Structure 1
């Protein structure tokens, strides 16, 4: 276990706080975990450290990285936007609200981040009055809040993608329509009601949201309709006939559980798959290969199908060899990790294997994140029962 032992400033013996935990697999197959709030702490001397600001349990969070460099973003208990960053050896943190003046996040704000294109990364969240905040990192941070963008309702998740054309973020408006926001700053930001534009089925008010982009202008967006079927939106450009949609419920993807979160994993010029919950709260992996199919996730120890905790989120990624990885919290509140495909799958109870701090009970839209690095997968979750 790689974590600092100094007591956080302001936390009395036996006192609790919230923390971001990273669980990492190394090339030899071993796992270790790190309390990132402690690992990123400022040393004040005398055995006292000032940890990175504690995350708010009601807020979402995201992680991004592929090599040694990795970043985690979340809102702290005051709503400030916090960055945890590592170069592969040490962790540090920045309070982006106090440093560059980005607005305070709403108490239940989701976060979304897309991949890096042209050395540029975009981070999205929702401020207190429901407006979308768009942050751009290219050496330095800039941000914008445009009041003409529809407000993001409290129940809506966020999803984001980048492709050769640009940068896009998606959310549901108050009518449960899928809204697409393209661009940053000048030229003018483009806003499209995709439900009306592409004649899409209405979204379930409980639906999750996922998006993947690649190539010059390939876009895929996933959500659940009011019948809890998975809808795939396919976009190729600006014209109305360049958008289409398919109801995957009739094409090999099982019906979703009410309120299922969604996570989609990109691969090279394709969508590797979508992670979701089935009607029996079972974790599923939906993928396309000469047609859509749904793969059940089983444990390797008991060869049993696990049940997902009612408040669990879901996270997924694909490795460079296109193996899918899925993480979630089971009904026993243990953090689980699954690696596919069906012909060569493996499953870990990370909580039991590593004696992890308990996963915090959180809303379905977050927080749980997974990135696959050159050394192996990295899973991120929140706990309100950390050790020092």
Structure 2
């Protein structure tokens, strides 16, 4: 719900003040528990209130297709480490930077949202959050180009800042600009972040996974930090290590004792398939065969990705298979199923491409114990984030 800003003596007539519904406040109270320290927990709480109010407003007043990037389930791994929220509105990305600060003389944005290519937004919204009063206030915005080229970089806290006089105070201007000038450039060119090796990443996760390190983002050079957290699988691993959780992405453990709670939250399930009499004829036994499955929404349809272990003499071959979840429906031409190494490198025979409509796509791979694999599907599924599956 929008509140008339003129009833607040502190607010400019151009400020947008949004009510935080009570149900969202209660939900945020419940959802901000899984963090390693009180600072991250409270940061998550403020971000959750900001998201709850602004996402509802954008979906009602701008476009119902407004979505959290990369996925709602990924948000805790961001908020444990850095302040901010990204939303996608069709081809536009908004980055919300919430703060409880009373002094609104400048707008400060963490470097991660400005200098990591996959995180960069088109526009950045300055949001004041008032939990006790039950509202959020959008008091200005700027685009990436202005923040990058005119913002002052502060190495002490790794932020870019702009004076309040250098940002646009009326958010309605942004809505108008999106309608009248949708092709206007908003982003400044930035350097690519060097890739880390799996060993580098594991060393950094072991070091920064200590929850006594309250601000891990400032413990190592930015290029190393950015290389670590831009990878969704490594970012999730770091978050889980800081919570003291055991390995959550071991496919071997999933098959033996069930899918982990973290993996279930993003949609993974395990199923036991009893071999039919015909299939079992000649087999050594008729024990159930366990497969792993995850449903995915892609371009408005539901698909199913299945992982099946297949014994081949002394080696296990892992089959990754994509099918349309609707009986008899096909996978359209142009779809691609791809497997990558943990550090996102291709390897021979790592992908299957549908040149025309097909019943299935699949890739089979033999993996060494402890090896990690990342799966990709193009077009990307809704709420897609890189996962490292351990074998």
TM-score > 0.5, shorter chain as reference: no
Q: Could you say which structure has the higher helix fraction?
A: 2
The TM-score normalised by the length of structure 2 is 0.26
The TM-score normalised by the length of structure 1 is 0.26
Q: Could you say which structure has the higher strand fraction?
A: 1
Larger Rg: 2
